[in-house]
A = this chain, B = another copy of it.
Amino acid sequence: MSLIHKTAIVSEKSKIGNDVSIGPYTIIYDNVEINDGTIIEGFCEIGVSNSLSDQKLLTIGKSSHIRSHSIFYEGSVFAEGLITGHRVTVREKVKAGRGLQIGTLSDLQGHCEIGDYVRFHSNVHIGQKSKIGSFVWIFPYVVLTNDPHPPSKTLLGVTIEDYAVIATMSVILPGAIVAKGCLVGAHSSLKGETQPDMVYAGSPAKLICSTSKIQLSDKSGPAYPWREHFKRGYPEEITKLWPAT
């Protein structure tokens, strides 16, 4: 049984699973599948139709939680355990794995691929054609761009590989590749290719050192790979599969 607020407007054509909660003033459009145990808070629009989504279904995996004032277009697929902040905007043709977290005010422009257990903090902008691996962290006010010569007809998305971290207010330029385990420092502007497990910083960003050189502030050990000391919120059956250093 689901709990739908009396002020919510839910299309009869939408598919709503068991134990789904839908908050006040939220609108669920036709072309939507919301799976079991998901919470959609108030003031949301789920399954907005537009000409670029080829009338494909929006699928929200089970046990997800979409916070208030969020907008999702039709034509994207999210595996189980999606969690969002407030005022998230997600356009068509996003394909995302399990356990994605999208922070408040983030803006996914659609047409992108995202692996498992990726975390976007607040106010992250993901341009079209981005390819993001698994266990990636992107911090506030980071922009993933795609147009090498704006405005042009070319969309050259960026690639962010597994375990990479992009710190606050950095721009990843069109076509750039952030390799596995890299750290891009705050307020950087990164172009081109990178080597795995290295720190890049500055504008334009330069190779600074190996991430293994960075110590935690409490001197308890190296700060990277972060998966050695930070497992909060990941399921144990996942973290036990993480590769050793």
Residue positions of A touching B, CB distance < 8 A: 7, 9, 24-25, 27, 42-43, 45, 48, 68-69, 71, 85-87, 89, 104-105, 107, 109, 119, 122-123, 125, 137, 139-141, 143, 145, 148-154, 156, 165, 167-169, 171, 173, 186-187, 189, 202-203, 214, 216-218, 223-224, 226, 229-230, 232
Contacts and interface: CB of A to CB of B under 8 A. Distances in A.
B156 A217 contact: yes
Contact of A149 (B9, B173, B214): B214
A27 B27 contact: no
A68 to B, nearest CB: 6
A104 B85 CA distance: 17
> Dominant SS at the A interface?
loop
A224 B147 CA distance: 14
Given A69-B69, A186-B145, A229 B25 contact: no
Given A45-B68, A89-B105, A223 B122 contact: no
A123 B171 CA distance: 14
A203 B188 CA distance: 9
12 contacts: A68-B71, A89-B105, A105-B107, A125-B141, A149-B226, A150-B167, A151-B165, A152-B229, A153-B230, A169-B169, A169-B171, A171-B187
